[in-house]
Each structure stands twice: as C-alpha cells, then as structure tokens.
C-alpha cells in the first residue's frame, strides 16, 4: 500500500480525475483506499471520481469476489474542446512516457498502456 504523502495546496496541472485514472491504469485491481492514498484524496472523493468516469464512459468495472477490476476505455475522447481528438490512451501514454523518462520506479504504468497507444523511438 502506498503511504499518503503530505497534502498539497494550490493549483496543479493534472486534475484529480486524471490522477485517479492514472492510478487505475497502473493497477486495474487497485482498491479505492489505495487510490485515495496515492492521489492524496479521501476515499469518498475517489468513489465520486470513479463514478464520474464510469458515467462518462471512460471506465467500467466488474466485481471479482469482494473487489473490483477496472477497465479503462482507451478510445474515449477527452472532454475539453482544446483536447479535441485526443483519447484517454493518448493521455496515459504521455504520463507513462514521462514516468519512463524520469525512471521514478513505476515502470508498471508503461505496461498498463496498450501498445498501440505508446510512442516508440521510431515515432518521435
């Protein structure tokens, strides 16, 4: 389980929805409690965000015993008009590439992104 770091105040570049989505991309069977700790949110806030993402078609879940397994709908288009045409897979690919380049010990996020969404060195 991730230990919750110190809370952050002020604005940030990524929304809480993007943070939760990235946490789920890293581990599709992660618990709400673990997402909350990683994203520095309350469990109630994470539950609301997961509900928002599901209602908007970005995420689905299935019950596996007492847990949930999440599935990110990678082809779903991002909501803001400035990101017209960009998909969830594009966003996760960008985040995964950042993590890979900075080698912060989370290579599993790169593996969570489908191969078709990843940019290879030949694409750059």
Q: Model confidence over 38-48: pLDDT tens digits?
A: 999 999 999 99
pLDDT confidence of 103, banded at 50, 70, 90?
low
Q: Model confidence over 31-84: pLDDT tens digits?
A: 999 999 999 999 999 999 999 999 999 999 999 999 999 999 999 999 999 988
Question: How much is the pLDDT for 124?
Answer: 39
Q: Is 10 left (phi over 0), alpha (psi -120 to 50) or beta?
A: left
Distance from the Cα of residue 26 to its chain's centroid: 7
Q: How many residues in total does the chain contain?
A: 124
118 by Cβ neighbours in 10 Å (0-12 / 13-18 / 19+) ranks as middle
Q: Looking at residues 13-21, what average pLDDT do you find?
A: 92
Q: How many degrees, rounded to 5, is the angle at CA 102 between CA 97 and CA 106? A: 75
């Amino acid at each position: 389980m991730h230990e919750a770091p110190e809370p952050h105040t002020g604005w940030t570049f990524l929304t809480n929805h993007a943070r939760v989505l990235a946490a789920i991309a890293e581990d599709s069977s992660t618990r709400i409690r673990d997402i909350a700790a990683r994203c520095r949110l309350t469990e109630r806030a994470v539950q609301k965000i997961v509900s928002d993402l599901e209602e908007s078609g970005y995420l689905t879940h299935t019950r596996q015993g007492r847990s949930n397994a999440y599935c990110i709908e990678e082809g779903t288009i991002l909501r803001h008009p400035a990101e017209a045409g960009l998909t969830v897979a594009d966003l996760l690919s960008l985040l995964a590439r950042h993590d890979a380049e900075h080698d912060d010990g989370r290579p599993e996020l790169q593996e969570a992104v489908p191969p078709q969404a990843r940019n290879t060195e030949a694409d750059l």
